[in-house]
C-alpha cells in the first residue's frame, strides 16, 4: 500500500476535497486584485501645470482662460504636462479665445519653466490615484514603475522565505500567517500617508501573496488523487481569471485609490479566520516523522467523506508502511541547495526557472500598462481577463491529451510569436494591435496555468515548497524587470516588444527539456524523480 491508496481509502474526491479546495481557491480570486491593482490605483490622469498663484484666486476668469494663458500647447494640440509660461500670457486672451497656434505669439519667444505651483488633474475618470496624491508625474514619473517593482520584489522575497519555511514548519501554519499579513499590510497601504510607506506595505503584500500562492497550491495537490490534478489545477487558474474580472468591477464602482486598496484587502481577514479549519498535508507530516498527526488528519478526512469505519482502520504502522520507501530516502532536513545538488534536480530547476521567468516577464509586460492601448481601462481589463477563459480551456485539453511538456512549450512559443508579430503592425491600427496583445496575454495565462501544475508535479514532496518558492522567485524577478523594460520604449519604441517576444520563445526550448508528468504519481523523494526521468529515456 502506498499513500495514494490511503487517500482512496478515506475518500480522495469526497466532500472534504470539495470544501477544502473551495476554501483554498476563494482567496485566489483576490490575488489578481493585488497583482494588477497598480493599473487602477496608479492610473495617470490627464494633467497640466497649475495656474500661477496670482491667478488662482481670480474669479473673473474661467478655468479654460487660465489654462490658455498659463500652459503652452504641444505638437499634438494638447496642453503641455510639465511646463508652463514663466508669466501669464495675457495677450492670448485678446485673440478672441482662438486656439489656433498661428494666431498666437510664437511660444518659443515666451519663457517657460517647470510646474512650480504643482499640477491640476482631470479626475473625471478616477477621483484619486497615487499619481495625483503624491504628484508622480514629469520628473517623478519613474516612481510609478518603481512602485510595482517594489511590490514584485516583495513577491520575490516572499517566495524564497515562505517556500523554505513551509517545508520546515508546514503548509497550513505559513498559509494562515500569509492571510493575516496580506490583510494587515493591505489595510496599512490603503491609508499610508506617504509614497515611501505605501511602497513598504505593498512590499509586505507581495511577500504575503507568495505565501498564499505556494501553500494553497501545495495543500490542494497533496490532498487530491493523480487523476483529477489537471482539472483542479485548471479550476484554480480560473479563480485567478475571475479575479481579474472582479477587480475591473470593483474598481469601476470604487474610484478612490485608498478605498479600492482597502476593499481588495478585506477578504483576507475572512480567509485568516477560516484557515484554522484547514488540515495540514498528511504527506508532509509523515515525511517529517509526525505519523500520529497524519493518522489523525486522515481519520478526519474519512469522517468528512462519510467513511469513518474505513478511517478507523488506519493506524501509525500502516501510514509508516505506506511511506516507508520515501522516509528511508529522506534526510532530516532539506535546503534550497538540494535543488541544485544532483544533476537531475539541477537541470530541472534551471529549465523551470527559465520558464517561470519568461512567463511572468512577458505577462506583466503586457498587463501592467493598460492605458497604452488607448481603450477604456475598465473595458480592456475585462477583455484581458476574459481572454484567459478560452486559453485555459485549451491548455486544459492539451495538458490532458498532449502532456504538460508540449503544452508548456507551445504556450510560450506561441505567445512570443504573437508579441513579435505586433511589432510589424502600424501604431495607428489600435484594434489589430489590441487583438494580438490579447492573444499573447491569453497564451501567457495558459502558460502560467501549466507552470503551477507542472512544477508541483515535478518537484518531490520533500522539496516541493522550496522548489516552488525558488521558481516563483524567478517569476517575480521577471515581473520586477518587466516595468523597467517598458522605460526603454522612451528611447527605442520597438525595443520592449522585441524583448518581450524573444524571451518566451527561448524559454519554450528550455521547457521541452523537462520530463513528462501526465498520469504519473507525485514523486515524494529525489530518487522518485530520478526513476521517473529514467523511465522516459
pLDDT band, very low/low/confident/very high, at 104 (cuts 50, 70, 90): very low
Residues 120, 10: Cα–Cα separation, whole Å: 65
Output 353 or 396, whichever has higher pLDDT.
353
Residue 84 parent element (H or E): strand 84-85
> Can you tell me whether residue 300 is helix, strand or coil?
helix
Contact assessment for residue 155 and residue 208, using Cβ atoms and an 8 Å cutoff? no
Residues 482, 363: Cα–Cα separation, whole Å: 9
The candidate with the shortest Cα–Cα distance to 50, out of 104, 114, 110, 93, is 114
Distance of CA 427 to the CA centre of its chain: 28
pLDDT band, very low/low/confident/very high, at 180 (cuts 50, 70, 90): very high
Give CA angle at 472 (142, 215), nearest 5°. Answer: 125
- The residues with which 73 forms a beta bridge, in sequence order, are 79
Neighbours of 33 (CB within 10 A): 23
Query: In this prediction, what percent of the chain has a pLDDT beyond 70?
Result: 89
Contact assessment for residue 153 and residue 169, using Cβ atoms and an 8 Å cutoff? no
Q: What does the pLDDT look like over 140-165, one tens digit per residue?
A: 887 887 888 888 889 888 887 887 78
Answer yes or no: is pLDDT of 536 > 80: no
Query: In this prediction, what percent of the chain has a pLDDT beyond 90?
Result: 20
Q: What does the pLDDT look like over 106-139, one tens digit per residue?
A: 555 567 777 777 788 887 777 888 888 888 888 7
pLDDT band, very low/low/confident/very high, at 102 (cuts 50, 70, 90): very low
Q: What does the pLDDT look like over 304-347, one tens digit per residue?
A: 888 888 778 888 887 777 666 555 555 556 677 888 888 888 99
pLDDT band, very low/low/confident/very high, at 410 (cuts 50, 70, 90): very high
Residues 177, 31: Cα–Cα separation, whole Å: 16
- The residues with which 112 forms a beta bridge, in sequence order, are 85
Residue 98 confidence (pLDDT)? 46
Give CA angle at 463 (510, 326), nearest 5°. Answer: 115
Neighbours of 341 (CB within 10 A): 12
Q: What is the DSSP string of 317-329?
A: HHHHHHTHHHHHT
Furthest-apart CA atoms within the chain: distance in Å? 96
Q: What does the pLDDT look like over 4-52, one tens digit per residue?
A: 777 888 887 889 889 999 999 999 888 888 888 888 888 888 877 877 6
Beta-strand relationship, 84-85 and 119-121: unpaired
Residues 350, 125: Cα–Cα separation, whole Å: 44
Helices (H), 459-494: 464-486
Section 532-536 average pLDDT = 69
> Can you tell me whether residue 50 is helix, strand or coil?
coil
Section 257-274 average pLDDT = 94
Q: What is the mean pLDDT of the chain?
A: 82
Residue 209 half-sphere exposure toward CB, CA atoms < 13 A: 29
Residue 94 confidence (pLDDT)? 66
Amino acid at each position: 500500500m502506498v499513500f495514494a491508496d490511503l487517500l482512496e481509502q478515506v475518500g480522495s474526491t469526497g466532500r472534504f476535497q470539495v470544501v477544502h479546495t473551495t476554501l483554498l481557491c476563494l482567496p485566489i480570486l483576490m490575488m489578481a486584485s493585488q497583482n494588477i491593482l497598480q493599473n487602477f490605483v496608479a492610473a495617470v490622469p490627464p494633467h497640466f501645470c497649475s495656474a500661477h498663484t496670482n491667478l488662482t484666486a481670480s474669479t473673473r476668469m474661467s478655468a479654460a482662460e487660465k489654462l490658455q494663458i498659463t500652459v503652452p500647447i504641444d505638437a499634438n494640440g494638447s496642453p503641455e504636462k510639465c511646463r508652463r509660461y514663466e508669466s501669464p500670457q495675457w495677450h492670448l486672451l485678446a485673440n478672441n479665445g482662438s486656439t489656433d497656434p498661428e494666431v498666437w505669439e510664437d511660444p518659443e519667444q515666451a519663457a517657460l519653466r517647470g510646474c512650480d505651483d504643482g499640477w491640476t488633474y482631470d479626475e473625471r475618470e478616477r477621483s484619486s490615484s497615487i499619481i495625483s496624491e503624491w504628484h508622480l508625474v514629469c520628473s517623478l514619473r519613474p516612481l510609478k514603475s518603481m512602485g510595482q517593482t517594489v511590490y514584485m520584489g516583495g513577491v520575490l522575497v516572499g517566495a524564497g522565505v515562505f517556500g523554505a519555511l513551509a517545508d520546515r514548519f508546514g503548509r497550513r501554519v505559513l498559509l494562515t500567517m500569509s492571510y493575516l499579513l496580506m490583510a494587515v499590510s493591505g489595510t496599512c497601504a490603503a491609508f499610508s500617508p506617504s509614497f515611501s510607506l505605501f511602497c513598504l506595505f505593498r512590499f509586505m503584500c507581495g511577500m504575503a501573496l507568495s505565501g498564499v500562492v505556494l501553500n494553497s497550491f501545495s495543500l490542494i495537490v497533496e490532498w487530491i488523487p493523480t487523476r483529477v490534478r489537471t482539472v483542479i489545477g485548471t479550476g484554480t487558474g480560473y479563480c485567478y481569471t475571475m479575479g481579474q474580472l472582479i477587480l475591473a468591477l470593483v474598481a469601476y464602482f470604487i474610484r478612490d485609490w485608498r478605498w479600492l486598496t482597502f476593499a481588495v484587502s478585506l477578504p483576507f481577514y475572512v480567509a485568516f479566520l477560516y484557515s484554522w479549519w484547514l488540515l495540514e498535508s498528511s504527506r508532509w507530516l509523515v515525511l517529517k516523522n509526525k505519523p500520529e498527526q497524519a493518522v489523525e488528519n486522515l481519520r478526519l478526512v474519512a469522517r468528512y467523506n462519510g467513511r469513518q469505519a474505513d478511517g478507523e482502520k488506519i493506524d501509525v504502522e500502516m501510514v509508516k508502511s505506506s511511506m516507508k520507501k520515501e522516509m528511508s530516502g529522506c534526510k532530516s532536513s532539506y535546503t534550497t541547495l538540494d535543488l541544485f545538488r544532483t544533476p537531475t534536480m539541477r537541470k530541472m530547476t534551471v529549465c523551470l526557472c527559465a520558464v517561470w521567468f519568461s512567463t511572468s516577464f512577458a505577462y506583466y509586460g503586457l498587463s501592467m500598462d493598460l492605458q497604452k492601448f488607448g481603450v477604456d481601462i475598465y473595458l480592456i481589463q475585462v477583455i484581458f481577463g476574459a481572454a484567459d477563459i478560452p486559453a485555459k480551456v485549451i491548455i486544459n485539453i492539451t495538458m490532458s491529451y498532449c502532456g504538460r511538456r508540449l503544452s508548456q512549450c507551445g504556450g510560450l512559443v506561441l505567445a512570443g510569436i504573437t508579441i513579435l508579430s505586433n511589432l510589424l503592425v502600424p501604431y495607428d491600427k489600435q484594434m489589430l494591435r489590441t487583438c494580438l496583445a490579447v492573444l499573447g496575454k491569453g497564451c501567457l495565462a495558459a502558460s502560467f496555468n501549466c507552470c503551477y501544475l507542472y512544477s508541483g508535479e515535478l518537484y518531490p514532496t520533500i522539496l516541493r515548497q522550496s522548489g516552488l518558492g525558488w521558481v516563483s522567485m524567478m517569476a517575480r524577478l521577471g515581473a520586477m524587470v518587466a516595468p523597467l523594460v517598458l522605460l526603454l520604449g522612451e528611447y527605442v519604441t520597438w525595443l520592449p516588444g522585441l524583448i518581450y517576444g524573444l524571451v518566451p520563445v527561448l524559454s519554450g526550448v528550455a521547457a521541452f527539456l523537462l520530463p513528462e508528468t501526465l498520469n504519473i504519481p507525485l514523486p515524494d523523494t529525489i530518487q522518485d524523480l530520478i526513476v521517473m526521468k529514467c523511465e522516459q529515456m
